[in-house]
Chains A and B, each alone.
Chain A
Amino acid sequence: EAGVTQSPTHLIKTRGQQATLRCSPISGHTSVYWYQQALGLGLQFLLWYDEGEERNRGNFPPRFSGRQFPNYSSELNVNALELEDSALYLCASSSRQVRTNEKLFFGSGTQLSVL
């Protein structure tokens, strides 16, 4: 069974550009979570999507946005890139029964570098 897949593996952009990161959850999982892992800061919660809707959002500016498609895959968009957006962006998924299955399964991430 395939795990959580993310693309691209690496992404290099310049300041002011836009970045689009993609995530496919484990088959049967309906929830997708996005985390930012910057050097020295640990994993910071960005967004949670479930059944196509945004359910919760972390303390990030509105230029971080995303969506979830009918097949439960998800996209994270970062507009007007800043140097401090350079980080590993991790996507995770979990099954429909979030209240009873609280384990997240992570992908290998997209390493975003902003020059």
Chain B
Amino acid sequence: EDKVVQSPLSLVVHEGDTVTLNCSYEVTNFRSLLWYKQEKKAPTFLFMLTSSGIEKKSGRLSSILDKKELFSILNITATQTGDSAVYLCAVNSGGSNYKLTFGKGTLLTVNP
């Protein structure tokens, strides 16, 4: 069965800190890895990674994938209180039977 494991499960930091969120996976037929941010209810898309070693960047957020070691990290620099959310990692592994397998998420709390 496909498995996606995120760590840590929760994290509390102060504004301005840098955080690294981890996602490891064991899936058959890997296609892509996605990161989402869930603030209230609707997860919103952050990044999609398909190739190893290529960093995706958007402002203070960046992510990289290691397909050999089967993990990804999401970095957030100079954190702000608005970054407080659950960050979800998901892996697309379904081939023609497309589906996303999600990890349990990392709850990030940024205190002022």
A residues bordering B, Cβ < 8 Å? 3-4, 31, 33, 35, 40-45, 48, 55-56, 58, 88, 90, 98, 102-109, 111
Other-chain residue from A3, A41, A102, A108 in contact with B40 (beta carbon distance below 8 A): A108
A-B residue pairs, 9 tightest by C-beta: A42-B104, A43-B102, A108-B41, A56-B97, A108-B42, A109-B41, A106-B42, A106-B43, A103-B45
Does the CB pair B42–A56 fall under 8 Å? no
**With the chains together, A42 CA to B91 CA distance in Å?**
13
- In B56-112, the 8 Å CB interface with A consists of 88, 90, 92, 94, 97-105
Interface residues on B, range: 20 to 34
Contact: B101 with A102, CB < 8 Å?
no
**Majority SS at the chain A contact face:** strand
Chain B interface helix/strand/loop/mixed: strand
On whether the beta carbons of B34 and A107 are closer than 8 Å, the reply is no
Q: Is the CB of B48 within 8 A of A42?
A: no
Shortest C-beta distance, B55 to chain A (Å), equals 18
Q: How far is the CA of A56 from the CA of B93 in the complex (A)?
A: 12
Given contacts A102-B32, A106-B42, A108-B42, contact A45 B97 (CB under 8 A): no
Return 17 A-B CB contacts under 8 Å, by A number: A33-B99, A33-B100, A35-B102, A42-B102, A42-B103, A43-B43, A43-B90, A45-B101, A48-B98, A55-B97, A55-B98, A56-B97, A88-B41, A90-B42, A102-B32, A102-B34, A104-B34
